Amino acid sequence: MAKQTRQRILDAALTMFNAQGEPNVTTNHIADELEISPGNLYYHFRNKDDIIEQLFARYEERMDGALAAPQGRLPGLEDIWLQLHLVFECIWDYRFLYRDLVEILSRNRRLRLRFARILKRADEQAHTVMRGLSQAGVMRASSDELAATATNVLVIATFWLNYASARGDKDEHAAIRDGIVQVMMLMAPFLRDAERVHLNSLTRAYLD
Amino acid sequence: MAKQTRQRILDAALTMFNAQGEPNVTTNHIADELEISPGNLYYHFRNKDDIIEQLFARYEERMDGALAAPQGRLPGLEDIWLQLHLVFECIWDYRFLYRDLVEILSRNRRLRLRFARILKRADEQAHTVMRGLSQAGVMRASSDELAATATNVLVIATFWLNYASARGDKDEHAAIRDGIVQVMMLMAPFLRDAERVHLNSLTRAYLD
């Protein structure tokens, strides 16, 4: 029963953070939403940052899964597409974290280190994928170009939803789809002509 | 004298917002810092959002200047480099706005529209620059590639400082320099071989 309440608090907090932005939701708002007393909430969590840390642990597990490479073979374009979907869906489900990223990380050194670790892991995965494409002869880029592109992939993925919001995009599912295309377009110019044409037609079909 | 106090409030607010993050600075903190009474501050500004709106007006004028194209000739690689410097320096001087962009814009519809206008203007300028390079025969990209690249230029420029912070970069001047290089690297793969080599050597010299 206690465990169930704890779970309900986390679920409600995630929903409210995502909908309203973490800075605009207090522990009292969460307790009100669940029709429990603030005292009951504080029995389960020390404060709002404690709730955020628990949600972060869920997010971290999910993102680590999304960043796992396909085993035992070189990744192809379709693998990258699928992996980007998993990553963007994870970002979407925990979008409160990305909306106020610097502010949330500034309050908690542990989260700061853990988020930096995830970025590092994502960077390694982007390198692995692009090196795979290079080994398969599908992509051609110098190591400087590959490193710069991996970094740009991370920045676009991390902040795409914020950009779409700042630009005034209304359709949030379209925003995810557009973000995936923007990331693919970072790699496109380094692809062999046949794959570049293939990617362009995949992209057009996907956006229509 | 009243004007001078008004100016001092804006200057102190900008410094404190940039150093601590806008969500962590109240009007009382600003009044304390200036050793004036809260009442005196409220004589000049209705509330914190009023201060932010005045700072935004300064930012907007500065960014509009940075986004002005060189007149009467096609822009070259060096022009782009210089313009990126002006843009990144403006972002740096008003970095509080970018740190908590979605949260700040969510509170004020006017700022939301004005920021969207700046993004639109930046997008047009990125298109103009790249079309200039294409007309000069220096760059080759389809119109889809050009549009996707312009968008990625905007996302990287807008969120680079947040990314550097989330990644744990300590040296802030290095962060600006790195951001400019990341933007240039978005255009690099579309450059003619001679200019691509030229850009690579410019970049190495710049980073050393």
CB contact under 8 A, A186 and B152: yes
B181 and A148 in contact by Cβ < 8 A? yes
| CB–CB contact A182 B151 (8 Å) | yes
3-state SS string for A28-55: HHHHHHHCCCHHHHHHHCCCHHHHHHHH
Side chain identity, residue A59: Y
Which residue type sits at A82? L
Q: What is the DSSP letter of B72?
A: T
A19 Cβ contact partners less than 8 Å away, ≥ 6 residues apart: none
pLDDT at B123: 97
Among A121, A152, A203, pick the best mutation site for testing chain B contact (most B Cβ within 10 A): A152
* Closest to B155 in 3D by CA, of B203, B101, B103, B94: B101
Contacts of A185 (CB under 8 A, 6+ apart): A203, B145, B148, B149, B152
Q: How many CA atoms lie within 13 A of A93 on its CB side?
A: 16
Instruction: Please tell me the total count of domains within chain B.
Output: 2
Reading the block at residue A78, the tokens are 């379709």
> Cα(B94)–Cα(B97) distance, rounded to whole angstroms?
6
Q: What is the pTM of this model?
A: 0.95
Percent of chain B at pLDDT > 90 equals 79
Same domain, B164 and B67: yes
Q: Which of A142, A162, A200 sits opposite B101 (nearest CB)?
A: A162
**ipTM > 0.90 (yes/no):** yes
Give the tokens for residue A13: 């907090």
Query: Chain A closest CA to B4's CA: distance in Å?
Result: 32
- Contact: A159, B158; criterion CB under 8 Å: yes
Range of the domain at B160: 48-207
DSSP state of B100: T
Structure tokens at A180: 């995936």
A146 in the same domain as A91 = yes
Residues A65 and A158 in one domain: yes
Residue A38: what residue type? P
- Indicate whether A13 pLDDT > 90: yes
Question: What is the DSSP track for A103-128?
Answer: HHHHT-HHHHHHHHHHHHHHHHHHHH
B126 SS3 class? helix
Which sign does the torsion angle of CA B86, B125, B166, A30 carry? positive
Cross-chain Cβ contact B103/A102 below 8 Å: no
Nearest chain A residue to B169, by CA: A116
- Mean pLDDT in chain B? 93
Sequence-distant (6+) residues with CB within 8 A of A170 are none
Looking up residue B197, the CATH number of its domain turns out to be 1.10.357.10
Nearest-5° Cα angle at B178, B190 to B90: 100
Both B30 and B55 in one domain: the answer is no
Tell me the percentage of chain A whose pLDDT exceeds 70: 96
Name the 3-class secondary structure at A191. Answer: strand
Domain boundary among A44, A59, A77: A44
Backbone angles phi, psi at A166, to 5 degrees: -65, -30
Query: Does B115 share its domain with B151?
Result: yes
Same domain flag for A29 and A106: no
Q: Which chain B residue lies closest to A188 (C-alpha atoms)? A: B145
| A11 and A108 both lie in a single domain | no
Whether the predicted pLDDT of A2 surpasses 90: no
Query: In this complex, do A182 and B152 lie within 8 Å of one another by their Cβ atoms?
Result: yes
Compute how many other C-beta atoms are within 10 angstroms of the C-beta atom of residue B9. Answer: 22
Residue of chain B whose Cα is closest to the Cα of A181? B148
Q: Are residues A19 and A83 in the same domain?
A: no
* DSSP result, B133-187: HHHTTSB---HHHHHHHHHHHHHHHHHHHHHHHHHT---HHHHHHHHHHHHHHHH
Per residue in A164-195, pLDDT (tens digit) is: 999 999 888 899 999 999 999 999 999 999 88
Question: B181 and B97 share a domain?
Answer: yes
User: Do residues B126 and B167 share a domain?
Assistant: yes
CB < 8 Å to A108, chain B: none
Nearest to A144 by CA among B188, B109, B80, B22: B188
CATH code assigned at A30 = 1.10.10.60
Cα B65 to chain centroid, rounded? 12
pLDDT digits (tens, 9 = 90+) for B35-88: 999 999 999 999 999 999 999 999 999 999 999 866 667 777 888 889 999 999
| Contact residues, chain A to chain B, C-beta under 8 Å | 21, 23, 99-103, 105-106, 112-113, 115-116, 119, 141-142, 144-145, 148-149, 151-152, 154-156, 158-160, 162-163, 165-168, 181-182, 185-186, 188-190, 200, 203
Do A37 and A135 fall into the same domain? no
CB pairs under 8 A between A and B: 112
Contact list in A for residue B102 (CB cut-off 8 A) is: 21, 99-100, 162, 165-166
Instruction: Please report residues of B whose CB lies closer than 8 A to that of A154.
Output: 163
**Sequential DSSP letters for A57-96:** HHHHHHHHHHTPPPTTS---HHHHHHHHHHHHHHHHHTHH
Angle, CA of B62, B66 and B71, to the nearest 5°: 130
Could you tell me if A61 and A17 lie in one domain? no
CA–chain centroid gap for B116, Å, is: 13
Confidence at residue A16, expressed as pLDDT on a 0 to 100 scale: 98
Least confident of B40-49, B98-107, B171-180: B171-180
**Contact at CB, B144 and A200, closer than 8 angstroms:** yes
Residues from chain B contacting residue A96 (CB–CB below 8 Å): none
